[in-house]
Amino acid sequence: MSFPDRKEDQVRRMLEGPHPVLPPDLAGRAAGRGQRMLRRRRAARTVGWAVLLAAVVAFTVWAAVVHPWAGPPADTTPPLEGW
Amino acid sequence: MRERRAARESRRAREFEAFVAGAGGRLLHAATLLTGEPTGNAQDDTEAAQALLTVALARTYARWDRLRGEDPYDRTRQELAALYAHRARRYRRPRGGLLDRLTPRERLVLVLRLYEGVAEEQTAATLGLPVERVRAICTRAVTLMRTAPPRAPGAPPVAGHPAGAAR
């Protein structure tokens, strides 16, 4: 074993001290918090899809009513010659 | 649909509880080393470490159904490291813990490399640092741990500690 490894092992043993006591309710608190995160995320996703859907519907209705692809009616008619 | 979701939630809660029961002690010890709180006695207060670990575990819980074979322990450790790195400024004040004499970044590298045994490359990727930097920080932290006396509570960082370079 090389020299730096021995030093590292010494520090590693220092780090392996007594474990602190895990509070019994920590898992429950973390789960509750995680559950709230999930619910918030789900709500945000639902709102996002709803907004997207509303935008698509609004655009479709507007396009169906206005026909924006049709050119404006010609204001001037070309002169008729040789008739 | 609703029943399926309820079943999934109860299964997730069960699995998560078993995971925390098994790995929680070690994770809390790692968190305590990071926050610099003492661990010697049973009645020692590890409030900051508990808060840190609770958020990391909550994020793991929120991802539980999408872990796709990833080890939840690794996941929680990564969340813990990211969270700690983000909040590092809060933990500069010595609190009487074992790693008091180190800066937050040195603590993080030391805990990931030596306590958790994470490979140098992975530590570097987690922290967004070059591998050489990680190696240098680790060597420095090991040297400090073996030589420097513990900082007195409330004292400023040890003179000669390159505060700018250490951040």
Interface test with A, best of B43, B44, B46, B54 (most A CBs within 10 A): B54
Task: Specify the pTM.
Answer: 0.80
For B70-104, the pLDDT digits (tens) are: 999 999 999 999 999 999 888 888 777 888 888 99
Are A4 and B139 inside 8 Å of each other by CB?
yes
pLDDT averaged per 10 residues, chain A (length 83): 73 84 91 95 97 98 92 79 78
User: Can you list the domains of chain B with their CATH numbers?
Assistant: 2-154+161-166 (1.20.140.160)
Tokens of B98: 């074992």
Tell me which of B4 and A4 has the higher pLDDT.
B4
Q: Are B75 and A54 in contact (CB under 8 A)?
A: no
B75 CB neighbours in chain A (<8 A) are none
Which of A18, A30, A35 is opposite residue B40, by nearest beta carbon? A18
Domain boundaries, chain A: 32-64
B-chain residue closest to A8, CA distance: B142
Q: What's the average model confidence in pLDDT over B30-37?
A: 90
Range with the lowest mean pLDDT among B12-26, B55-69, B131-145, B153-167? B153-167
Q: Which of B:74-113 have CB within 8 Å of A?
A: 98, 110-111
Tell me which of B153 and B111 has the higher pLDDT.
B111
**How close does chain B come to A2, measured CA to CA in Å?**
14
pLDDT band of residue B131 (cuts 50, 70, 90) is very high
Q: Say if residue B135's pLDDT is above 80.
A: yes
Are B57 and A21 inside 8 Å of each other by CB?
no
**How close does chain A come to B159, measured CA to CA in Å?**
22
**How close does chain A come to B62, measured CA to CA in Å?**
5
What would the 3-class secondary structure string for chain A be?
A: CCHHHHHHHHHHHHHCCCCCCCCCCHHHHHHHHHHHHHHHHHHHHHHHHHHHHHHHHHHHHHHHHHCCCCCCCCCCCCCCCCC
- Residue B142, C-beta contacts closer than 8 angstroms, at least 6 positions apart: A4, A7, A8, A11, B110, B114
Identify the pLDDT of residue A27.
93
Identify the pLDDT of residue B154.
52
